[in-house]
Amino acid sequence: RQGSLIERLTALPARPATPTELLRVHTEEHVSLVASSRGRTFRFDPDTQAGPRSYDAALLAAGAAADAVDRVLLGEIDRAFCAVRPPGHHATADRAMGFCLFNNVAVAAAQALHRGLKRLMIVDFDVHHGNGTQDIFYDDPRVLYLSSHAFPFYPGTGTLDEVGVNLPMPPGLGDEEYARVYRTIAEPIGRAFDPELVLVSAGFDAHRGDPLAGMDLTRKGYAELTEVCLAIAEGSARGRVVIALEGGYDLDAIAGAGAAVVGGLLGARPGKLTWPARGRLDPLVDAYRKLLAPLWPVLEGGVSGPIPTAC
């Protein structure tokens, strides 16, 4: 099955991000500091260390995301999955943190805005909140950032009252719980915003096989999240989705979940995920709706019962 996926993909070489692309989202001081790590071992903070070639890899990661946006907007490719390292969503405008040097998805979003798009949505289902991405676009109404993440957890941001759509989640949630949150909260908001492009920060550290976070997603759950992103992209985005790899600490989990996401981009349809009309997530979903409905009237009244997988 992995082989059949690969046969349907077009592999594209990564190119380095240009200084102009980086400086749309990062300060000159930050770009210079990361560049100074080239050829040596350098520690940005207790968690984030660069090796001799980390700078080159980070340039390629950010450049690949920007190039994927260009190719999708030009119609050269339909959608893209950027299998890049290092990840990016913790990197702020002026700081490397959480293993992230440059913010790949932010560079991609800025590229899309530079090409003339007016509304972008970034969906981040990494188990950690993408504080860097949120910070970079905090005051930009053209970019809607939506994150589901374990809370309280590193980096400690992503509360319900922050700008954007933050969906803090308790540990132990699996496919059905994620499906409920994404189908009843994320998808209606995304469709109402009607972005011209959907960018995805795809972290696979909420997988049940990942040793860090204590979440319980499987391949089926990640396929469902991909379906939601594609559903959001059905309007003005005309199906255009660019996904960038973020976190994950178990190679088998990353491989399996990544294959499920790529399969979704290629048109594979997961089996339907349903959930009880009432369940342990009720207080949390009610809190999401209470806070978000004044900004997103589409959430008023709620949704009862299971939501079928989109076709």
Asked if residue 305 has pLDDT above 50, the reply is: no
Q: 90 catalytic, yes or no?
A: yes
Using alpha carbons, list the distances in angstroms from residue 129 to 72, 73, 76, 112: 26, 27, 32, 22
Task: List beta partners, residue 122.
Answer: 145, 199
**What's the CATH fold of domain 2-299?**
Arginase; Chain A (3.40.800)
In this predicted structure, the answer to whether residue 309 has a pLDDT above a threshold of 70 is no
Residue-wise DSSP of 226-260: HHHHHHHTTSTTTT-EEEEE---S-HHHHHHHHHH
> Residue range 150-162: average pLDDT?
94
Could you say which of 26, 30, 90, 149 is catalytic? 90
> Average pLDDT in the 168-185 region?
94
For the stretch 213-231, pLDDT in tens is 899 999 999 999 999 999 9
pLDDT single digits (tens) 238-297: 999 999 999 999 999 999 999 999 999 999 887 777 776 667 788 999 999 999 999 999
Query: What pLDDT, on a 0 to 100 scale, did the predictor assign at position 3?
Result: 59
Domain ranges of the chain: 2-299
pLDDT at 302: 58
State how far the Cα of 276 lies from the Cα of 211, in Å rounded to an integer: 28
